[in-house]
Structure 1
Amino acid sequence: MPDLQQLRVLVAEDEFFVANDIALWLEKAGATIIGPTPTVKETLKSLAQAFDVQVAVLDINLNGELIFPVADELALRSVPVVFFSGYDDMSVPERFRSAARLSKCAGASDLVNAVFEQHLRGGNQGEIQRQSG
């Protein structure tokens, strides 16, 4: 399993036990966890206070609200994203199609590997451009 030492990972997940598993898996691999946060509002608040997020693990639906405003902010900061969700690929907007996606059925090693690979790739996937206007 890759070593995630010193990697700061934002986790947004509304299911307590899943959030706890994600945090434990990533901490066991050496990452520092920001969150987990259960709502889009709380995730954006955490993100506003944490300028050094390096990778994010995001559930697509947090208590009935889609996570894409958070993903947009992360893309503006060039922070790579792993969507960890029960939703299918059709639920991901085109601008995030190249972001990593894992089913919630995935295990610890799959998630740690995805976070590591996204960190290596950097924030080039799913970048959006500011629209003038």
Structure 2
Amino acid sequence: MPEDTLQARRILVAEDEYFLADELSSALQDVGAEMLGPVASVEGGLRMLERGAAPDAACLDVNLGGENVYPLADALIARAVPFVFTTGYDQADVPDAYAHIRRLEKPVEVATVLRALEDLFRS
């Protein structure tokens, strides 16, 4: 897989776990991507979408501070922005409408998230 797959890509990160968000920020910067966020709420993610150009991809924690991320996921789908979920939930807990979205189970390694994001651009 080419090392520059994420270079210059705008990646929205919706994550309320500080350490994972911080690690993702560093890793995305290292591969030349621009991280949008991180945002720790659905409202913050929706505001981010309204403010500027659409991201090229996103990484969404299913639960942001006790709130399901699905309204933000729906907004990304409407804009044709690919994304992955990170979650501690089982696949059965994710609504069927999102069954086609790749789900990365927490705890998740940052390298796994990066590979999943790269895969979005190869499919």
Q: How does 1:40-79 map to 2 (within 5 A)?
A: 40-79=42-81
Matched, 1:14 2:13: no
The offset of 1:109, in angstroms, is 2.0
Q: Within 1, Cα distance between the matches of 2:7 and 2:36?
A: 14
| Secondary structure of 1:52 counterpart | coil
The offset of 1:50, in angstroms, is 2.7
Q: Within 1, Cα distance between the matches of 2:101 and 2:66?
A: 21
Instruction: Give the root-mean-square deviation of aligned CA atoms.
Output: 1.4
Q: How does 1:89-100 map to 2 (within 5 A)?
A: 89-100=91-102
| Secondary structure of 1:5 counterpart | coil
Q: Within 1, Cα distance between the matches of 2:56 and 2:72?
A: 14
| Structure 1 residues 119 and 91: CA distance shift in structure 2, 3 A | farther
Q: Within 2, Cα distance between the matches of 1:91 and 1:47?
A: 26
- Percent identical pairs in the alignment equals 38
TM-score, length-scaled by structure 2: 0.90
TM-score, length-scaled by structure 1: 0.84
- Is contact 2:87–2:105 with CA below 8 Å preserved after alignment? yes
The offset of 1:41, in angstroms, is 0.7
The offset of 1:101, in angstroms, is 1.1
- Is contact 2:20–2:110 with CA below 8 Å preserved after alignment? no
Larger deviation, residues 35-44 vs 25-34: 25-34
Number of matched pairs: 121
Structure 1 residue ranges, 4+ long, deviating more than 3 angstroms after superposition: none
Q: Within 2, Cα distance between the matches of 1:80 and 1:25?
A: 19
- Is contact 2:82–2:120 with CA below 8 Å preserved after alignment? yes
- Is contact 1:60–1:85 with CA below 8 Å preserved after alignment? yes
Deviation string for 1:76-130 (max 9, x for gaps)? 1111111011111122221211111112222122111100111232xxxxxxxxx
- Is contact 2:15–2:39 with CA below 8 Å preserved after alignment? yes
- Is contact 1:55–1:80 with CA below 8 Å preserved after alignment? yes
